[in-house]
Amino acid sequence: MKIGIVCYPTFGGSGVVATELGIALAKERHQVHFITYSQPTRFDFFNENLFYHEVDMMAYPLFQYAPYETALASKMVDVVKYEQLDILHVHYAIPHASAAFIAKQILKQQNIEIPVITTLHGTDITLVGKDPSFEPVVAFSINQSDGITSVSEDLRRDTYDHFKIEKEIRVIPNFVDLQKFKKLKKEHFKKAICPNDEKLIVHTSNFRPVKRIEDVVAVFQNVRSHIPVKLLLVGDGPERAKIESLCRECNDCDDIRFLGKLEAVEEVLSVADLFIMPSEKESFGLAALEAMACQVPVISSNAGGLPELNIHGHSGYLSNVGDINSMTKHALEILDEKNLPAFKKNALDRAKDFELSKILPKYENYYNEILDKKKRVEVV
Ligand code: GMT
């Protein structure tokens, strides 16, 4: 099958899922064409079935805001037509689903039918999509997609609750490649960060307010008043300067390290004892799944799709958003040497439920289902 994948190519979870999916499909001998504004971060090698088409943006003084959607739709038309794609799979509704709709209409006039699948990832619905400045176009373009998937049951419900969606939304959860995300031998790294055998807590995110990183710091401070512990913060974004000031004010600089954006997150996760994700909203929590795959138990909020991933009392614990006391209690329980080995094992066992090989066929079957449906409509 020839598949076009449209996504944000940077560090966000939706781009990671789209890129890993494309790479996995290419290994299954599908031909995959990425259409994005820059090379996806995790696609940095040669594979005969993988292609990358950069969206060209013409600079012009009149454009206060460059019309990316128009350039993207034009590139989609070009790639679908000349690479003879069978299907377009767009990740994150805004603006990919509406650009796909425009491309589809243009191609139709040239007698080219291209089925479009939109995968909803979270903030495209829960934060940005619901905003009145986007809502009508988001609802319209989701409805115009031939197939719709969401990464959790919760996001599916949320989408039906907030938009008038007339079609089935298929839940296909996110996945992790256990060949890549696994506990690596990095004892020297652990020794450098925790020279006195302190426990190590890790948080990774794009440092947006929705991630509630101040809660991570608060839980860490509480835990540190009971046991020796260090904190690694991985990622970057708008909240970083604020959180750095917070740590400086509390004289925590020796125990908290900011690592910035990291490509090989699995190396850091390999030496972690606990992962914290206290998000206000989280449709799935891919970063938590990657932690579990590296045998790291998770303390998370119970927002959005997190209860579908993190099993309370097994792979970690769930608490209400902002409940620092509950998160602290759970963190101490997990970090207790009597309990830690079992939690680590359970975290990996839970990650196995989302192993790439289990989820990939769900996407392939869905593509075939949508293509068959299209063919049946054409015959009628
Ligand atoms: O977390 C973010 O803000 C980034 C965002 C994205 O689109 O890159 O993440 C969303 O998609 C991920 C992949 O499906 C999910 O694992 C995240 O839970 C989801 N984030 C939110 O819902 C806040």
Over residues 5-25, the pLDDT tens digits come to 999 997 689 999 999 999 999
How much distance in Å is there from the Cα of 91 to the middle of ligand 1?
11
**125 and 230 assigned to the same domain:** no
Give the ligand 1 atom nearest the CA of 205: 1
Beta bridge partners of 117: 89, 147
**15 and 149 assigned to the same domain:** yes
Q: What is the pLDDT of residues 333-371, one digit of tens each?
A: 999 999 999 999 999 999 999 999 999 999 999 999 999
**106 and 66 assigned to the same domain:** yes
334 within ligand 1 shell (Cβ under 6 A): no
- 123-to-10, 94, 129, 139, 370 alpha-carbon distances in Å: 15, 10, 7, 14, 25
Q: pLDDT band at 44, cuts 50/70/90?
A: confident
**74 and 162 assigned to the same domain:** yes
Provide the pLDDT for residue 248: 86
328 within ligand 1 shell (Cβ under 6 A): no
Ligand 1, from 14, 280, 354: best to mutate by most atoms within 8 Å of Cβ?
14
Q: What is the pLDDT of residues 353-363, one digit of tens each?
A: 999 999 999 99
How much distance in Å is there from the Cα of 288 to the middle of ligand 1?
11
Percent of residues, the chain, with pLDDT higher than 70: 99
Q: What is the pLDDT of residues 144-159, one digit of tens each?
A: 999 999 999 999 999 9
How much distance in Å is there from the Cα of 336 to the middle of ligand 1?
31
The number of folded domains in the chain is: 2
Q: Is the pLDDT of residue 48 over 70?
A: yes
Q: How many CB atoms lie within 10 A of CB 288?
A: 28
Provide the pLDDT for residue 379: 66
300 within ligand 1 shell (Cβ under 6 A): no
Give the ligand 1 atom nearest the CA of 15: 8
Q: Is the pLDDT of residue 253 over 80?
A: no
**129 and 273 assigned to the same domain:** no
13 within ligand 1 shell (Cβ under 6 A): yes
How many whole angstroms separate alpha carbon 54 and alpha carbon 151?
Answer: 26
226-236: average pLDDT = 96
Q: Is the pLDDT of residue 377 over 80?
A: no
Q: Tell me the residue range of the domain where 98 lies.
A: 2-175+356-379
**280 and 224 assigned to the same domain:** yes
Q: Is 189 helix (H, G, I), strand (E, B) or coil?
A: helix
Shortest-distance Cα residue to atom 21 of ligand 1 = 282
Helices (H), the chain: 13-27, 68-82, 93-109, 123-126, 135-144, 153-162, 187-193, 213-224, 240-249, 265-269, 286-293, 306-309, 324-335, 340-352, 356-379
How much distance in Å is there from the Cα of 152 to the middle of ligand 1?
11
98-107, 117-126, 141-150, 169-178: the lowest-pLDDT one: 117-126
288 within ligand 1 shell (Cβ under 6 A): no
**128 and 205 assigned to the same domain:** no
**318 and 367 assigned to the same domain:** no
How many whole angstroms separate alpha carbon 80 and alpha carbon 175?
Answer: 27
Decide if 83 contacts 51 (C-beta within 8 A): yes
How many whole angstroms separate alpha carbon 197 and alpha carbon 295?
Answer: 18
Residue from 256, 288, 274, 265 nearest 184 by CA? 265
Q: What is the pLDDT of residues 262-284, one digit of tens each?
A: 988 999 999 999 999 999 999 99
Q: Is the pLDDT of residue 251 over 80?
A: no
Q: Is the pLDDT of residue 380 over 80?
A: no
**162 and 232 assigned to the same domain:** no
Provide the pLDDT for residue 43: 82
- The CATH number covering residue 81 comes to 3.40.50.2000
How many whole angstroms separate alpha carbon 207 and alpha carbon 344?
Answer: 26
**11 and 136 assigned to the same domain:** yes
Ligand 1, from 149, 150, 286: best to mutate by most atoms within 8 Å of Cβ?
286
**51 and 190 assigned to the same domain:** no
How many whole angstroms separate alpha carbon 86 and alpha carbon 284?
Answer: 29
How much distance in Å is there from the Cα of 250 to the middle of ligand 1?
30
Residues sharing a CB contact under 8 Å with residue 301, sequence separation 6 or more, in sequence order? 212, 277, 278, 279, 280, 282, 318, 319, 320, 321, 322
How much distance in Å is there from the Cα of 13 to the middle of ligand 1?
5
208 within ligand 1 shell (Cβ under 6 A): yes
**106 and 15 assigned to the same domain:** yes
Q: Is the pLDDT of residue 316 over 70?
A: yes
Provide the pLDDT for residue 185: 85
How much distance in Å is there from the Cα of 206 to the middle of ligand 1?
9
91 within ligand 1 shell (Cβ under 6 A): no
